Structures are given as C-alpha cells and as structure tokens.
Amino acid sequence: MKAILLLGAPGAGKGTAAERIRDAAGYIHVSTGDMLREAVKQGTAIGREADGYMKSGALVPDEVMLRLVEARLQAGGPEDAYMFDGFPRTVRQADLLDQVLQRGGGGIEHVFFLDSPRDVLIQRLTGRRICRACGANFHQTNMPPKRAGVCDHCGGELYQRPDDCESTIISRLDVYNQKTESLIERYRLKGLLRRIDSSGGADKLAQDVLRVLQKS
C-alpha cells in the first residue's frame, strides 16, 4: 500500500490537481472533504458529528477522521496506490497514516506541497463552484463552465460550498496555519516534500506534479 499526498492551504488546488492526476496516473483518490460532505448528505453518524465543524471552518476532530480513514483503507489491497487530498491535516493524522501504510507494507512516496500566496487562495475560494452530481471543480472567472451553472462533464448543477463564504474562508486559512502547516516541515525532514508553485493555472500544476511522478 503506497501513497502520495496533496498538502496545501484551502484553495491551493488540491482537488483540481487530484482530478487530473487520478485520470493520468491511476491513483485511488481519497478526498476526506468529499467523504465528509457525502456523510453529511447521507446523514450518517460521522456526518452528523462533522457537520457543525465543517460549517464553521474548523477541523473535524481527529477521532472522527481516524475512524473515517481507517474504514476507507480497510478494503484496500497491498498493491493499491492512494492519492490523499486534504489528509493528513494534523500531526496525529499523519502518525496514523504512517502506521496504516506501514502495516500494509508500504509508505509515502511523495508529498506535494501546493503553494500559493494568500490573495490567490482567497480569490480562488470565493469564486469556486462545484458540480453537485460528479464533484468537478469550476471557477467563475479562472475556469468557467461552458454554460453558466452547468457542469461541462455531466450536465449537473453547479453550487457554491457553504464554507466558501468570506468569513469562513478566513477561519479555514487560520486553522491551516495553526494545525496543518507544521506538516510541511515533517515531510521535508523525511525527504518526501516536493514544493509545487500552484499560483498558475490548473494545467501547469498538474503537469508539474506528473513530471515528478514520471521520474520516480
């Protein structure tokens, strides 16, 4: 069981990069944000616990996240290659991931740190629109759909995430600085960190990541 991680602030482009890398490189995409939003929609026990934290831009408690991710990986085989998007976000989550991967006889291959300045992050998050049906990402100005409000891929309805309002965006960026940013140093010390400038377009970002993957 091996893994690559997409690490970066909200709005750094993790979801967009993940969509393209998954298609090009055959990784199993694990987005904890998508899993939680699905759990909220379904009204599961985890969804009911997570809902309030997500609305306010706080992290969902580690206990809940560890349960969610362990359950997700339990079904996996030793050959599986995962791409984590939005996990880990705390030291405790990172420790758990190391344990689970080691148990499966593998480990982390690369950690892609997607780096963009704060003003770019805020502009991206405020304009982001997502397909209700397939989860594809769009942006009002940077990556507009061909028809307003309609997904290019599946015709689904586009919506704005409730936590993409300005005040919640600021909270999420603060939480990232307090809880997640220290993971950059953790993975740098392990020689796993690959910093990618993610302030350009989505195509360039995906190319830069794929170039690293092809070399390894």
Positions in the binding site for ligand ADP (CB under 6 A): 10, 14, 32-33, 36, 53-54, 57-60, 65, 86-87, 89, 93, 163, 172
How far is 165 from 25, CA to CA, in rounded Å?
33
Task: State in angstroms the smallest separation of the CB of 84 from ligand ADP.
Answer: 9
Q: Between 32-42 and 62-74, two packed helices, what is the crossing angle to 10 degrees?
A: 100
Which does residue 153 touch among ligand ADP, Zn ion, none (CB within 5 to 8 A, set by kind)? Zn ion
| Binder of Zn ion out of 151, 196, 202, 209 (CB under 5 A) | 151
Question: Is 14 an annotated catalytic residue?
Answer: yes
Question: Is 89 an annotated catalytic residue?
Answer: yes
State yes or no: residue 147 binds Zn ion (CB under 5 A): no
C-beta of 106 vs 144, nearer to Zn ion: 144
C-beta of 155 vs 185, nearer to ligand ADP: 185
Active site residues: 14, 89, 128, 161, 172
